[in-house]
Amino acid sequence: QPSHEWWKEAIVYQIYPASFLDSNGDGLGDIPGIVSKLDYIQSLGVSALWLSPIFKSPQHDMGYDISDYRTIHAPYGSVEDVEEMIQGCHQRDIKVLLDLVVNHTSHEHEWFQESRSSKASPKRDWYIWRDAKYDSDGTRKPPNNWASIFGGSAWTWDEVSSQYYLSLFLPEQPDLNWTSKEMREATYADMEFWLDRGVDGFRIDSMNLMSKHPELPDAPVVDPESEFQSGSLYYASGPKMHDYIREMRLKVFDKYDCMTVGELGFTKDENSVAQYVARDRHELNMVFTGDIVDLDFGSQHKYGPGDFQLSKLRDITNMWQRAMPKCDGWNAVYMDNHDSGRSLSRYASDHPQHRKAAAKMLATYLSTLSGTLFLLQGQEIGMANIPESWGIEEYIDVEAQNYYKAMIKQRGEGSDMSDVLKEMRHKARDNGRLPMQWDSSKHGGFTNHEKPWMRVNDDYIDWNAKSQENDDQSILSHWKRILQLRKDEKDVFVYGRYEMIDVDVSGKDVFAYTMTKWDGAKRAIVLLNFSTESQTFYCEGKYEGWRQLLAGHGGMKMGASGVKLGPYEGVIYCNW
Ligand code: ISL
């Protein structure tokens, strides 16, 4: 029986501050906007918030480039506003998680300014500096062939001190050197600053990129077309990674009753992940493995052609649901975040005919799995991806823009880019960042400003929180019901044992599994139709007479021969 912990039962609602609610009419969401919606958040039934970065930042990567960990990005508010928000949350029994970005800082951070000031700076080794290499003809080249995750080289030349620094993301995001003890201590002090102000934990950004191979070797050439290659082999889950996490725990986290969720890029295999989350390792509470949001990536690149396949979702779900009990570990359950397209549009359907059913079905999937549940703002009302009619100019994110520019360069100005845009409509990070649709007033009630920082999806008139609040059949009402059910039956869902029902039984378009309480006393079967057609689930008498715990479209009984599921219908039956 897994031990019961508050952070295992938490239902976490991710807020993307820029896009949540603008309270002062400048076109950008802010902290007071969040405070004004705490009753809404509470009514949804979530028990924790995770805020994407709110700290001082020049915003080259939407705040994932922090220039001061103890100051709030002024347009979002002040430290006092955050304290008020924390208090308001705690009064409602809602915990608060902040986004801790300590793999890198902004180039405007005082630490980096000092580091770059001279090779003799006492903070020189807080970042990763290397001499240039030179070709035989004298051309200056970066120290190795690593590609930046956002395109181009992972090294940035610094005129001030005549060396390159490592920047795995943007040049404006220099990587910290975690081998420096002083640097580590400084980040721990910043973490404590927030924990002392009542924060209940952190989502730790790019967690597993902090330990680089000491020699920074050239990466194997996987893409001969490209000048730069992914160096993830040498920087993901590197040699000292687990030492750093353990130190962080001993020096900071263990002093507080706090929750930690690490973002793992590139590390997706069961054994490596277990090293982060197995209980006896005493490292992180849980992690986000990227595989669930990468399902439809192209084979070479995120924006390469790729389609959703239910078989992949099944495999990934099976793997993590089984892996965690094996290592006595814990995992996050999620499908949406600010780095990806909405699962509704990518993995199911946002077509008006299916949207409601599909959003509810995905909610049923997420809410019945073992792990800590995370949802992204707007998921509770079935928000969708960027509409087909929008052009590239509506995509703000640097990743999408860089990729688009690189493709134009490759194909030539004026080339047909419709295939690229098609993939972006599914996978660009902008999709998960569209402003929240509160009501049917202008800009979906997100802002009074004439131009929001990011365009609101055209469909806000029909799809918004207000219109769903008093509708018992809405997506929002479904989320409220299913989250309540998850809490009421936590022994079955949060802590339960997962067993897949073979696809030979369920049929290829239906995802079916059972969840069982540790002592076997209670069992539920979850049936999810991922297709636009009706499907029949033949249960061969096994689940006959089981009670419908949560209705899909209708009130179908589980008969001797099974049950018929409508398009995108999700249902739960139980034996109690
Ligand atoms: O977004 C991605 C792919 O499109 C990921 O590779 C992402 O860059 C990676 O998961 C790390 O993400 C985190 O750190 C980035 C930031 O841009 C992301 O928003 C954040 O979630 C750099 O801080």
The reply to whether ligand 1 has any atom less than 6 angstroms from the CB of 429 is yes
CA distances (Å), 307 to each of 10, 317, 417, in order?
32, 18, 18
CA torsion angle 257 263 264 269 (round to 10): 70
Looking up residue 155, the CATH number of its domain turns out to be: 3.90.400.10
Q: Whose CA is nearest to atom 7 of ligand 1?
A: 339
Q: Whose CA is nearest to atom 16 of ligand 1?
A: 64
Mean pLDDT (the chain, rounded): 96
The reply to whether ligand 1 has any atom less than 6 angstroms from the CB of 329 is no
- 329 and 427 share one domain: yes
Residue 461 alpha carbon to ligand 1 centre in Å: 31
pLDDT tens string 145-201: 999 999 999 999 999 999 999 999 999 999 999 999 999 999 999 999 999 999 999
Asked if residue 563 belongs to a domain, the reply is yes
Report how far residue 106's alpha carbon sits from residue 67's, in angstroms, rounded to the nearest whole number. Answer: 5
- Look at residue 555 in the predicted model and tell me its pLDDT: 60
The DSSP code sequence of 182-208 is HHHHHHHHHHHHHHTTT--EEEETTGG
Token pair 């008020």 in the structure block, residue: 84
- Look at residue 1 in the predicted model and tell me its pLDDT: 81
The total of structural domains in the chain comes to 3
- Look at residue 468 in the predicted model and tell me its pLDDT: 98
The kind and range of the H/E element at 274 are helix 270-277
The reply to whether ligand 1 has any atom less than 6 angstroms from the CB of 101 is yes
Q: Specify whether the CB–CB gap between 368 and 330 falls below 8 A.
A: no
Asked if residue 481 belongs to a domain, the reply is no
Q: Whose CA is nearest to atom 4 of ligand 1?
A: 339
Asked if residue 482 belongs to a domain, the reply is no
- 99 and 114 share one domain: no
Q: Where are the beta strands (DSSP E) in 159-304?
A: 163-166, 201-204, 259-264, 286-289
Asked if residue 483 belongs to a domain, the reply is no
DSSP state of 534: -
- 117 and 81 share one domain: no
Q: Specify whether the CB–CB gap between 466 and 460 falls below 8 A.
A: no
Token pair 């490596």 in the structure block, residue: 272
Q: Specify whether the CB–CB gap between 204 and 138 falls below 8 A.
A: no
pLDDT tens string 270-305: 999 999 999 999 999 999 999 999 999 998 889 999
- 543 and 442 share one domain: no
Q: What is the mean pLDDT of residues 23-45?
A: 98
Closest CA to 376 of 14, 120, 34, 134: 14
3-state SS class at 459 = helix
Query: What share of the chain in percent tops pLDDT 90?
Result: 94
Pairing of strands 55-56, 510-516: unpaired
By most ligand atoms within 8 Å of CB, the mutation choice from 339, 376, 398, 404 for ligand 1 is: 339
The reply to whether ligand 1 has any atom less than 6 angstroms from the CB of 30 is no
Amino acid at 8: K
Token pair 């290592």 in the structure block, residue: 327
pLDDT tens string 7-26: 999 999 999 999 999 999 99
pLDDT band at 437 (very low <50, low <70, confident <90, very high): very high
- Which residue among 166, 189, 214 closes a domain? 166
- Look at residue 425 in the predicted model and tell me its pLDDT: 96
- 432 and 453 share one domain: yes
- 207 and 322 share one domain: yes
Asked if residue 480 belongs to a domain, the reply is no
- 118 and 194 share one domain: no
Q: Active site includes 263?
A: yes
Asked if residue 153 belongs to a domain, the reply is yes
Ligand 1 atom showing the smallest separation from residue 169 Cα: 22
- 135 and 228 share one domain: no
Asked if residue 490 belongs to a domain, the reply is no
- 80 and 46 share one domain: yes
Query: What share of the chain in percent tops pLDDT 70?
Result: 99
Q: Whose CA is nearest to atom 20 of ligand 1?
A: 205
Looking up residue 506, the CATH number of its domain turns out to be: 2.60.40.1180
pLDDT tens string 511-562: 999 999 999 999 999 999 999 999 999 987 889 889 999 876 666 678 877 8
Contacts of 357 by beta carbon, 8 Å cutoff, 6+ apart: 552, 553, 566, 567, 568, 569
Ligand 1 atom showing the smallest separation from residue 64 Cα: 23
The reply to whether ligand 1 has any atom less than 6 angstroms from the CB of 203 is no
Q: Which two tokens stand for residue 298?
A: 């192209």
Residue 206 alpha carbon to ligand 1 centre in Å: 7
Q: How many CB atoms lie within 10 A of CB 58?
A: 15
Q: Whose CA is nearest to atom 12 of ligand 1?
A: 206
Q: Specify whether the CB–CB gap between 295 and 312 falls below 8 A.
A: yes
Domain that holds residue 400: 6-103+181-475
Report how far residue 261's alpha carbon sits from residue 373's, in angstroms, rounded to the nearest whole number. Answer: 12
By most ligand atoms within 8 Å of CB, the mutation choice from 65, 173, 205, 431 for ligand 1 is: 205
- 418 and 359 share one domain: yes
Amino acid at 23: S
Residue 482 alpha carbon to ligand 1 centre in Å: 30
- 128 and 266 share one domain: no
Residue 506 alpha carbon to ligand 1 centre in Å: 36
Closest CA to 576 of 551, 545, 553, 552: 545
Report how far residue 328's alpha carbon sits from residue 324's, in angstroms, rounded to the nearest whole number. Answer: 6
- Look at residue 560 in the predicted model and tell me its pLDDT: 79
Q: What is the mean pLDDT of residues 409-418?
A: 95
- 469 and 516 share one domain: no
Q: What is the mean pLDDT of residues 51-77?
A: 98
- Look at residue 553 in the predicted model and tell me its pLDDT: 65
Catalytic residue among 30, 81, 99, 263: 263
Q: List the beta bridge partners of residue 96.
A: 49
- Which residue among 475, 507, 534 closes a domain? 475
